[in-house]
Amino acid sequence: MTLLRQPRPLPPDVVDFLRRSQCGFVGSNPLVCCELSSRPTITTEPPVVLSEKLGEPPKDVTGDFRLSFLPRRICGKKGTANRIIGGNKTAIGEYPWMALVGYSTSTGTVFRCGASVISSRYVLTAAHCLINLPQSLKLSTVRLGEHDLTVAVDCETDPELGTVISCAPPPQDYAVERSLPHPQFDRKKLANDIGLIRLSRAADVSTEFIRPICLPVGETQGLSMEGKKMKVAGWGATESGTSSDDLLQTNVPVVPLSRCASIYQAAVPITVRQLCAGGKVGDSCSGDSGGPLFQQGDVDDETRFIQFGVVSFGPKRCGTPDKPGVYTRVGYYMDWILDNLHP
Protein backbone atom coordinates (compact mmCIF):
# COMPACT_ATOMS: atom_id res chain seq x y z
CA MET A 1 0.00 0.00 0.00
CA THR A 2 2.98 2.34 0.58
CA LEU A 3 3.77 2.19 -3.13
CA LEU A 4 0.28 3.40 -4.04
CA ARG A 5 0.60 6.47 -1.83
CA GLN A 6 3.37 7.91 -3.99
CA PRO A 7 2.65 10.99 -6.17
CA ARG A 8 1.04 10.25 -9.53
CA PRO A 9 1.93 9.20 -12.10
CA LEU A 10 3.62 6.19 -10.50
CA PRO A 11 7.24 5.53 -11.51
CA PRO A 12 7.67 2.86 -14.24
CA ASP A 13 9.46 0.47 -11.85
CA VAL A 14 6.53 0.64 -9.39
CA VAL A 15 4.01 0.02 -12.17
CA ASP A 16 6.06 -2.96 -13.34
CA PHE A 17 6.25 -4.37 -9.81
CA LEU A 18 2.48 -4.06 -9.33
CA ARG A 19 1.84 -5.80 -12.64
CA ARG A 20 4.14 -8.67 -11.67
CA SER A 21 2.36 -8.93 -8.29
CA GLN A 22 -1.09 -9.23 -9.87
CA CYS A 23 -2.79 -12.46 -8.80
CA GLY A 24 -6.27 -12.25 -10.25
CA PHE A 25 -9.26 -10.07 -10.99
CA VAL A 26 -12.68 -9.39 -9.47
CA GLY A 27 -14.60 -8.12 -12.46
CA SER A 28 -12.38 -5.36 -13.83
CA ASN A 29 -10.64 -4.70 -10.50
CA PRO A 30 -7.15 -6.25 -10.17
CA LEU A 31 -6.05 -8.27 -7.16
CA VAL A 32 -2.47 -7.66 -5.99
CA CYS A 33 -0.77 -10.17 -3.71
CA CYS A 34 1.75 -8.44 -1.43
CA GLU A 35 4.58 -10.04 0.49
CA LEU A 36 4.14 -10.33 4.23
CA SER A 37 6.16 -7.96 6.43
CA SER A 38 7.68 -10.94 8.23
CA ARG A 39 8.62 -14.24 6.64
CA PRO A 40 6.20 -17.02 7.63
CA THR A 41 7.34 -20.29 9.13
CA ILE A 42 8.18 -22.74 6.39
CA THR A 43 6.32 -26.04 6.57
CA THR A 44 6.57 -29.14 4.43
CA GLU A 45 3.16 -28.40 2.86
CA PRO A 46 1.89 -24.98 1.71
CA PRO A 47 -0.84 -23.53 3.93
CA VAL A 48 -4.39 -24.33 2.92
CA VAL A 49 -7.09 -21.76 3.56
CA LEU A 50 -10.33 -23.71 3.82
CA SER A 51 -13.65 -22.69 5.27
CA GLU A 52 -14.88 -26.30 5.27
CA LYS A 53 -13.26 -29.40 6.67
CA LEU A 54 -10.87 -30.87 4.12
CA GLY A 55 -12.62 -34.23 4.15
CA GLU A 56 -16.17 -32.89 4.02
CA PRO A 57 -17.91 -34.69 1.14
CA PRO A 58 -20.66 -33.12 -0.94
CA LYS A 59 -24.24 -34.17 -0.28
CA ASP A 60 -24.90 -37.28 -2.37
CA VAL A 61 -27.98 -36.68 -4.55
CA THR A 62 -28.18 -40.24 -5.86
CA GLY A 63 -31.81 -41.30 -5.80
CA ASP A 64 -33.17 -37.75 -5.55
CA PHE A 65 -36.45 -37.73 -7.50
CA ARG A 66 -35.67 -34.28 -8.85
CA LEU A 67 -32.89 -35.72 -11.00
CA SER A 68 -35.73 -36.46 -13.40
CA PHE A 69 -35.72 -32.71 -14.18
CA LEU A 70 -32.32 -33.25 -15.80
CA PRO A 71 -32.43 -35.07 -19.17
CA ARG A 72 -29.87 -37.69 -18.17
CA ARG A 73 -30.73 -39.95 -21.10
CA ILE A 74 -29.36 -37.49 -23.66
CA CYS A 75 -26.91 -35.38 -21.64
CA GLY A 76 -23.22 -35.06 -22.35
CA LYS A 77 -23.21 -36.59 -25.80
CA LYS A 78 -20.76 -34.80 -28.03
CA GLY A 79 -22.00 -33.39 -31.32
CA THR A 80 -21.45 -35.53 -34.39
CA ALA A 81 -19.18 -32.93 -35.95
CA ASN A 82 -15.61 -34.17 -35.70
CA ARG A 83 -13.57 -32.03 -38.08
CA ILE A 84 -11.48 -29.61 -36.03
CA ILE A 85 -10.60 -26.48 -38.00
CA GLY A 86 -7.23 -26.16 -36.31
CA GLY A 87 -5.54 -25.08 -33.10
CA ASN A 88 -7.99 -24.61 -30.24
CA LYS A 89 -10.98 -23.96 -32.47
CA THR A 90 -13.93 -26.30 -32.14
CA ALA A 91 -16.00 -27.83 -34.89
CA ILE A 92 -19.54 -26.58 -35.39
CA GLY A 93 -21.78 -28.31 -32.84
CA GLU A 94 -18.91 -30.10 -31.12
CA TYR A 95 -20.01 -28.97 -27.64
CA PRO A 96 -23.76 -28.40 -28.00
CA TRP A 97 -24.21 -27.43 -24.33
CA MET A 98 -22.26 -24.20 -24.69
CA ALA A 99 -24.29 -21.03 -24.14
CA LEU A 100 -23.72 -17.28 -24.11
CA VAL A 101 -25.18 -14.87 -21.55
CA GLY A 102 -26.23 -11.55 -23.09
CA TYR A 103 -26.75 -8.12 -21.56
CA SER A 104 -28.69 -5.19 -22.99
CA THR A 105 -26.86 -1.89 -23.25
CA SER A 106 -27.59 1.50 -24.76
CA THR A 107 -26.09 0.28 -28.04
CA GLY A 108 -27.55 -3.25 -28.17
CA THR A 109 -26.85 -6.72 -26.75
CA VAL A 110 -23.36 -7.75 -25.68
CA PHE A 111 -22.23 -11.19 -24.56
CA ARG A 112 -20.01 -11.04 -21.47
CA CYS A 113 -20.37 -14.48 -19.84
CA GLY A 114 -20.61 -18.12 -20.72
CA ALA A 115 -22.99 -20.79 -19.45
CA SER A 116 -23.92 -24.43 -20.01
CA VAL A 117 -27.23 -26.02 -20.91
CA ILE A 118 -28.37 -28.46 -18.21
CA SER A 119 -32.05 -28.86 -19.18
CA SER A 120 -34.63 -27.44 -21.56
CA ARG A 121 -35.35 -24.51 -19.20
CA TYR A 122 -32.08 -23.92 -17.31
CA VAL A 123 -28.48 -22.97 -17.95
CA LEU A 124 -25.74 -23.04 -15.32
CA THR A 125 -23.40 -20.06 -14.93
CA ALA A 126 -21.48 -18.02 -12.34
CA ALA A 127 -23.26 -15.90 -9.73
CA HIS A 128 -21.07 -12.90 -10.56
CA CYS A 129 -22.57 -12.96 -14.07
CA LEU A 130 -26.02 -12.36 -12.56
CA ILE A 131 -25.70 -9.78 -9.76
CA ASN A 132 -23.66 -6.69 -8.86
CA LEU A 133 -23.47 -5.86 -12.55
CA PRO A 134 -22.28 -2.50 -13.88
CA GLN A 135 -25.14 -0.03 -14.33
CA SER A 136 -24.60 -0.12 -18.08
CA LEU A 137 -25.44 -3.84 -18.26
CA LYS A 138 -28.82 -5.51 -17.78
CA LEU A 139 -29.12 -9.30 -17.93
CA SER A 140 -31.42 -10.04 -20.84
CA THR A 141 -30.62 -12.98 -23.09
CA VAL A 142 -29.25 -16.50 -23.34
CA ARG A 143 -28.06 -17.70 -26.73
CA LEU A 144 -27.91 -21.42 -27.57
CA GLY A 145 -26.54 -23.22 -30.59
CA GLU A 146 -23.94 -20.55 -31.42
CA HIS A 147 -20.50 -21.09 -32.90
CA ASP A 148 -19.25 -18.06 -34.86
CA LEU A 149 -20.59 -14.75 -33.57
CA THR A 150 -19.96 -12.95 -36.85
CA VAL A 151 -22.31 -14.98 -39.04
CA ALA A 152 -26.06 -15.57 -38.91
CA VAL A 153 -25.73 -19.25 -39.87
CA ASP A 154 -22.72 -21.44 -39.12
CA CYS A 155 -21.63 -23.53 -42.08
CA GLU A 156 -18.84 -26.03 -42.61
CA THR A 157 -16.89 -25.59 -45.82
CA ASP A 158 -14.52 -27.79 -47.74
CA PRO A 159 -11.00 -26.48 -46.95
CA GLU A 160 -9.78 -27.11 -50.49
CA LEU A 161 -12.77 -26.24 -52.66
CA GLY A 162 -14.32 -23.64 -50.37
CA THR A 163 -17.76 -25.06 -51.01
CA VAL A 164 -20.36 -25.44 -48.25
CA ILE A 165 -20.62 -28.98 -46.89
CA SER A 166 -23.35 -28.49 -44.29
CA CYS A 167 -24.92 -25.78 -42.14
CA ALA A 168 -26.27 -25.66 -38.62
CA PRO A 169 -29.64 -24.10 -37.78
CA PRO A 170 -29.47 -20.43 -36.74
CA PRO A 171 -28.64 -19.92 -33.04
CA GLN A 172 -31.58 -19.43 -30.70
CA ASP A 173 -32.01 -16.46 -28.33
CA TYR A 174 -34.08 -16.86 -25.17
CA ALA A 175 -35.26 -14.14 -22.83
CA VAL A 176 -34.36 -14.54 -19.16
CA GLU A 177 -37.39 -15.48 -17.10
CA ARG A 178 -35.51 -15.61 -13.82
CA SER A 179 -31.94 -15.46 -12.58
CA LEU A 180 -30.91 -17.39 -9.48
CA PRO A 181 -27.50 -16.51 -8.04
CA HIS A 182 -26.50 -18.67 -5.08
CA PRO A 183 -27.87 -16.95 -1.95
CA GLN A 184 -24.49 -17.25 -0.20
CA PHE A 185 -22.44 -15.81 -3.03
CA ASP A 186 -19.74 -13.63 -1.51
CA ARG A 187 -18.31 -11.14 -3.99
CA LYS A 188 -15.35 -10.23 -1.79
CA LYS A 189 -14.31 -13.82 -1.13
CA LEU A 190 -15.60 -15.06 -4.49
CA ALA A 191 -17.24 -17.95 -2.66
CA ASN A 192 -20.30 -19.88 -3.89
CA ASP A 193 -19.89 -18.36 -7.33
CA ILE A 194 -22.61 -20.32 -9.08
CA GLY A 195 -26.03 -19.49 -10.45
CA LEU A 196 -28.90 -20.61 -12.63
CA ILE A 197 -30.88 -18.89 -15.37
CA ARG A 198 -34.38 -20.05 -16.20
CA LEU A 199 -35.25 -19.51 -19.85
CA SER A 200 -38.50 -17.83 -20.85
CA ARG A 201 -39.50 -20.89 -22.88
CA ALA A 202 -38.36 -24.47 -23.26
CA ALA A 203 -35.50 -25.14 -25.65
CA ASP A 204 -35.42 -28.22 -27.85
CA VAL A 205 -32.41 -29.96 -26.30
CA SER A 206 -32.63 -33.14 -28.34
CA THR A 207 -30.95 -31.70 -31.43
CA GLU A 208 -27.39 -32.11 -32.62
CA PHE A 209 -26.61 -28.45 -31.92
CA ILE A 210 -28.40 -27.83 -28.60
CA ARG A 211 -27.97 -30.51 -25.96
CA PRO A 212 -27.44 -30.53 -22.17
CA ILE A 213 -24.23 -31.51 -20.45
CA CYS A 214 -24.33 -34.07 -17.64
CA LEU A 215 -23.85 -33.01 -14.02
CA PRO A 216 -21.98 -35.07 -11.40
CA VAL A 217 -24.09 -37.47 -9.34
CA GLY A 218 -22.98 -39.87 -6.63
CA GLU A 219 -19.29 -40.68 -6.37
CA THR A 220 -18.40 -38.27 -9.20
CA GLN A 221 -19.57 -35.34 -7.03
CA GLY A 222 -16.51 -35.58 -4.78
CA LEU A 223 -14.16 -37.37 -7.16
CA SER A 224 -10.51 -36.34 -6.84
CA MET A 225 -9.49 -34.42 -9.94
CA GLU A 226 -5.91 -33.65 -8.99
CA GLY A 227 -3.52 -34.16 -11.89
CA LYS A 228 -6.28 -34.80 -14.41
CA LYS A 229 -6.74 -32.72 -17.53
CA MET A 230 -10.08 -31.05 -18.01
CA LYS A 231 -11.61 -29.17 -20.91
CA VAL A 232 -12.79 -25.58 -20.87
CA ALA A 233 -14.47 -23.80 -23.76
CA GLY A 234 -15.73 -20.32 -24.47
CA TRP A 235 -15.69 -17.17 -26.60
CA GLY A 236 -13.74 -15.19 -24.02
CA ALA A 237 -10.61 -13.14 -24.23
CA THR A 238 -7.64 -14.83 -25.86
CA GLU A 239 -3.95 -14.44 -25.10
CA SER A 240 -3.92 -11.37 -27.38
CA GLY A 241 -6.47 -9.68 -25.14
CA THR A 242 -9.33 -9.75 -27.65
CA SER A 243 -12.48 -11.85 -27.68
CA SER A 244 -12.81 -14.72 -30.12
CA ASP A 245 -15.60 -14.84 -32.68
CA ASP A 246 -15.38 -18.64 -32.73
CA LEU A 247 -15.94 -21.05 -29.87
CA LEU A 248 -12.51 -22.09 -28.57
CA GLN A 249 -11.42 -24.96 -26.34
CA THR A 250 -8.35 -25.93 -24.36
CA ASN A 251 -7.17 -28.54 -21.86
CA VAL A 252 -6.18 -27.46 -18.35
CA PRO A 253 -4.55 -29.66 -15.67
CA VAL A 254 -6.15 -29.64 -12.21
CA VAL A 255 -3.64 -28.47 -9.59
CA PRO A 256 -3.60 -29.44 -5.89
CA LEU A 257 -6.01 -27.36 -3.83
CA SER A 258 -3.31 -26.71 -1.24
CA ARG A 259 -1.03 -25.19 -3.86
CA CYS A 260 -3.86 -23.05 -5.21
CA ALA A 261 -4.76 -21.86 -1.71
CA SER A 262 -1.16 -20.84 -1.13
CA ILE A 263 -1.08 -18.83 -4.35
CA TYR A 264 -4.28 -16.91 -3.60
CA GLN A 265 -4.11 -16.71 0.19
CA ALA A 266 -3.24 -13.00 0.19
CA ALA A 267 -6.33 -12.22 -1.88
CA VAL A 268 -9.16 -14.69 -1.20
CA PRO A 269 -9.60 -18.00 0.65
CA ILE A 270 -9.80 -21.14 -1.47
CA THR A 271 -12.19 -23.84 -0.25
CA VAL A 272 -12.97 -27.46 -0.99
CA ARG A 273 -15.96 -26.18 -2.92
CA GLN A 274 -13.60 -24.99 -5.63
CA LEU A 275 -11.30 -26.53 -8.22
CA CYS A 276 -8.12 -24.93 -9.55
CA ALA A 277 -6.78 -25.72 -12.97
CA GLY A 278 -4.33 -24.33 -15.46
CA GLY A 279 -1.54 -21.86 -14.90
CA LYS A 280 -0.14 -22.45 -18.37
CA VAL A 281 -0.57 -20.85 -21.78
CA GLY A 282 -4.00 -21.69 -23.21
CA ASP A 283 -6.04 -21.35 -20.02
CA SER A 284 -9.55 -19.96 -19.86
CA CYS A 285 -9.80 -16.18 -19.69
CA SER A 286 -11.97 -13.53 -18.08
CA GLY A 287 -14.54 -13.57 -20.85
CA ASP A 288 -15.17 -17.26 -20.19
CA SER A 289 -16.74 -16.50 -16.77
CA GLY A 290 -19.66 -18.81 -16.08
CA GLY A 291 -18.60 -21.35 -18.68
CA PRO A 292 -18.10 -25.05 -17.95
CA LEU A 293 -15.05 -27.04 -16.92
CA PHE A 294 -15.79 -30.56 -18.12
CA GLN A 295 -14.37 -33.98 -18.90
CA GLN A 296 -15.53 -37.39 -19.97
CA GLY A 297 -16.86 -39.77 -17.36
CA ASP A 298 -19.21 -42.70 -16.89
CA VAL A 299 -22.93 -41.97 -17.00
CA ASP A 300 -25.28 -44.95 -17.04
CA ASP A 301 -22.50 -47.18 -18.40
CA GLU A 302 -21.76 -44.76 -21.23
CA THR A 303 -18.88 -42.35 -21.70
CA ARG A 304 -20.34 -38.85 -21.63
CA PHE A 305 -19.16 -35.35 -20.84
CA ILE A 306 -19.73 -34.23 -17.24
CA GLN A 307 -19.43 -30.67 -15.98
CA PHE A 308 -17.23 -30.53 -12.89
CA GLY A 309 -16.65 -26.78 -12.61
CA VAL A 310 -17.91 -23.29 -13.42
CA VAL A 311 -15.35 -20.66 -14.46
CA SER A 312 -15.15 -18.21 -11.54
CA PHE A 313 -11.97 -16.11 -11.56
CA GLY A 314 -8.27 -16.10 -12.29
CA PRO A 315 -5.44 -13.98 -13.60
CA LYS A 316 -6.41 -11.38 -16.17
CA ARG A 317 -3.60 -12.45 -18.48
CA CYS A 318 -4.51 -15.87 -19.83
CA GLY A 319 -2.03 -18.62 -19.12
CA THR A 320 -0.06 -16.72 -16.48
CA PRO A 321 2.52 -19.25 -15.24
CA ASP A 322 1.76 -20.73 -11.81
CA LYS A 323 -1.50 -18.80 -11.44
CA PRO A 324 -4.30 -21.28 -12.11
CA GLY A 325 -7.88 -20.37 -12.81
CA VAL A 326 -10.42 -21.00 -10.05
CA TYR A 327 -13.65 -22.88 -10.72
CA THR A 328 -16.72 -23.44 -8.55
CA ARG A 329 -17.00 -27.18 -7.94
CA VAL A 330 -20.42 -28.28 -9.22
CA GLY A 331 -20.57 -31.50 -7.20
CA TYR A 332 -20.85 -29.54 -3.95
CA TYR A 333 -23.86 -27.62 -5.25
CA MET A 334 -25.97 -30.43 -6.71
CA ASP A 335 -28.47 -30.27 -3.84
CA TRP A 336 -28.85 -26.51 -4.35
CA ILE A 337 -29.26 -26.94 -8.10
CA LEU A 338 -31.98 -29.56 -7.64
CA ASP A 339 -33.70 -27.37 -5.04
CA ASN A 340 -34.14 -24.68 -7.69
CA LEU A 341 -35.14 -26.68 -10.75
CA HIS A 342 -38.76 -26.65 -11.83
CA PRO A 343 -40.41 -28.28 -14.84
From 119, 284, 289, 312, the catalytic residue: 289
Q: Contact at 8 Å (CB) between 214 and 76?
A: yes
Q: Is 193 a catalytic residue?
A: yes
Q: What is the DSSP string of 15-47?
A: HHHHHHTEEEEETTEEEEPPPPSSPPPP-SS--
Q: Is 64 a catalytic residue?
A: no
From 119, 128, 244, 286, the catalytic residue: 128
Q: Is 262 a catalytic residue?
A: no
- Among 173, 187, 25, residue whose Cα is nearest residue 103: 173
Instruction: Encode burial over 250-280: b for 16+ CB neighbours within 10 A, e otherwise.
Output: bbbbbbebbbbbbbbbebbbbbbbbbbbbbb
From 148, 154, 193, 283, the catalytic residue: 193
Residue 112 identity (one-letter amino acid): R
Q: Could you give the CA distance from residue 140 to residue 60 in angstroms, rounded to a whole number?
A: 34
Q: Contact at 8 Å (CB) between 272 and 257?
A: yes
DSSP 300: T
Q: Could you give the CA distance from residue 87 to residue 249 in angstroms, rounded to a whole number?
A: 9
What's the alpha-carbon Rg for the chain, to the nearest Å?
A: 20
- Neighbour count for residue 241 (Cβ, 10 Å): 11
Active-site residues, by number, are: 128, 193, 289
